[in-house]
Amino acid sequence: MAAAAPTRAEVMSLFRSLLRTARQFSDYNIREYTCRRAADAFRENRALGDVPAAAAAFAYGKKQLEVAKRQAVVYSLYAPKAKSIMEMKMQ
């Protein structure tokens, strides 16, 4: 049985979760990338009218959220003491 298309509420909830998880990464580059990639992917898939494609994209997004949650924890366990220069005040 084919998966149903996700509702608008589900999509928004997934997007918010991805952004929230992105914020938890201790690494500057990964954090920025996760945010940006999620935003770009959601924007690109916004116009997906095809139900199986939308369902597949949603399922993919959910899987990526699981990966991001796990990795946010792993990265924070091994975060270096010195932060990236990009996160410091402008000299």
Partner 1 sequence: MALSRRLLPLLRRGGCLSASASPARALSMAAVPADADQEEAVTVKGVRISGRPLYMDMQATTPVDPRVLDAMLPFYLSRYGNPHSRTHLYGWESDAAVEEARARVASLVGADPREIFFTSGATECNNIAVKGVMRFYRDRRRHVITTQTEHKCVLDSCRYLQQEGFEVTYLPVRPDGLVDVAQLADAIRPDTGLVSVMAVNNEIGVVQPLEEIGRICREKGVPFHTDAAQALGKIPIDVNQMGIGLMSLSAHKIYGPKGVGALYLRRRPRIRVEPQMSGGGQERGIRSGTVPTPLVVGFGAACEIAAKEMDYDHRRATTLQKRLLDGIRGQVDDVVINGSMEHRYPGNLNLSFAYVEGESLLMGLKEVAVSSGSACTSASLEPSYVLRALGVEEDMAHTSIRFGIGRFTTEEEVDRATELTVHQVKKLRDMSPLYEMAKAGIDIKSIQWAQH
Shortest Cβ 32–partner 1 spacing (Å): 5
Q: What count of Cα atoms within 13 Å lies in the side-chain half-sphere of residue 20?
A: 8
How far apart (Å, rounded) are the C-alpha atoms in residues 71 and 67? Answer: 6
Contact 29, 85 (CB under 8 A): no
Q: Does 51 bind partner 1 (CB under 8 A)?
A: no
Q: Does 46 bind partner 1 (CB under 8 A)?
A: yes
First to last CA, the chain: 59
Q: Does 31 bind partner 1 (CB under 8 A)?
A: yes
User: By CB under 8 A, what part of segment 59-78 binds partner 1?
Assistant: 64, 67-68, 70-71, 74-76
How far apart (Å, rounded) are the C-alpha atoms in residues 54 and 31? Answer: 26
What residues line the site for partner 1 (CB under 8 A)? Answer: 8, 11-12, 15-16, 19, 22-26, 28-37, 39-40, 42-43, 46-48, 54, 64, 67-68, 70-71, 74-76, 80-91
